[in-house]
Structure 1
Amino acid sequence: MSSKTKIVVLHMKEVIYTGIFVVLAIVLAVVLFMMFGKSRDADTASAKAVYHAGVYASPITLNDNTFDVEVTVDENHINAISLVNLSETTTAMYPLMQPALDALSEQICQTQSTENITYTEENKYTSMMLLDAIEKALEKARK
């Protein structure tokens, strides 16, 4: 029984290429696992969501004129507040409506809350009415 000895000659270039490909394969496997594996962050993010994303409206009626206060939210933020279906008649009769809403909207979007909102004395009742409508729309958006 004769045994033939085989000698394998490896070039250094081949060893380096093989090592690089092995490292890249491991990195790819880790990245794919992190991307498609079940993540705990997604579960906690959905558990911490405050609102259902969407646009929610609350109606206001003044002298037989009805218009809506629309609040746009995503899962965790109040993004925008606006008046819709506001007729020119209502705008002419209540000229402080839009400036009062703009002031409230800026504060609410900045603080992400309807608590501790300030308004001027001349817009007091208009601001209170708008704030009540905004809170009703946010209540619809809450989970």
Structure 2
Amino acid sequence: MGGAAMSSKTKIVVLHTKEVIYTGIFVVLAVVLAVLLFLMFGKNKNADPASADAIYHAGVYTSPITLNDNTFDVEVKVDENHINSISLVNLSETTTAMYPLVEPALDALSDQIYTSQSTENITYSEENKYTSMLLLEAIDNALDKARKE
């Protein structure tokens, strides 16, 4: 009887050992699966917010302005999230002499745009109204080219 009881205990221990081994294998497989899922979806989550938060395609964008046969460009430099600079390019001395308010108007607008990072709710003086509106339209056109869709 003692021998039979001993073998049945050994048999139960062997069954428990097999169950522990199977459980261990399943736990290891579950951990490996969890790590793989984390790595696969973790990279996408880290990459997506950066690209989703980006407003612009970084670069330099221009928009032309024509005033009585004088053409020049508004140049807007942006990185992915910021308007970094706004300037006038290809501006001839003749245009500067004929339209002396263009550069001061752009400076006043640029300061506000850098602060707010937007062309919304920009204020300008009544004496520069039409020049400022023309410049804002050109800046908006350049920013539209830069925006991510």
TM-score above 0.5? yes
Structure having the higher Rg = 2
Deviations 1:68-95 (A, max 9, x none): 0000001111110000000000000000
Using the TM superposition, name which of 42-51 and 52-61 deviates more: 42-51
1:58 paired residue among 55, 59, 63: 63
* Post-superposition offset of 1:122: 0.6
* Post-superposition offset of 1:65: 1.0
Q: Kindly, what percent of the aligned residue pairs are identical?
A: 80
Q: Which residue is 2:130 aligned to?
A: 125
2:82 paired residue among 77, 81, 89: 77
Letter in 1 for 2:63: S
Please give the alpha-carbon distance, in whole angstroms, between the structure 2 residues aligned to 1:123 and 1:51: 29
Q: Which residue is 1:107 aligned to?
A: 112
* Post-superposition offset of 1:42: 3.0
TM-score normalised according to structure 2 size:
0.69
How many positions carry a matched residue from both structures? 108
Looking at secondary structure, tell me which structure has more helix per residue. 2
Letter in 2 for 1:49: A
2:43 partner SS: coil
1:81 partner SS: strand
* Post-superposition offset of 1:52: 0.3
* Post-superposition offset of 1:112: 0.4
| Pairing 1:86–2:88 present | no
Q: Which residue is 2:17 aligned to?
A: none
Deviations 1:29-69 (A, max 9, x none): xxxxxxxx836333211112110000000000111111000
Q: Which residue is 2:144 aligned to?
A: 139
Letter in 2 for 1:129: L
| Pairing 1:48–2:53 present | yes
TM-score normalised according to structure 1 size:
0.72
What runs of 5+ residues in structure 2 fail to find an aligned partner? 1-41
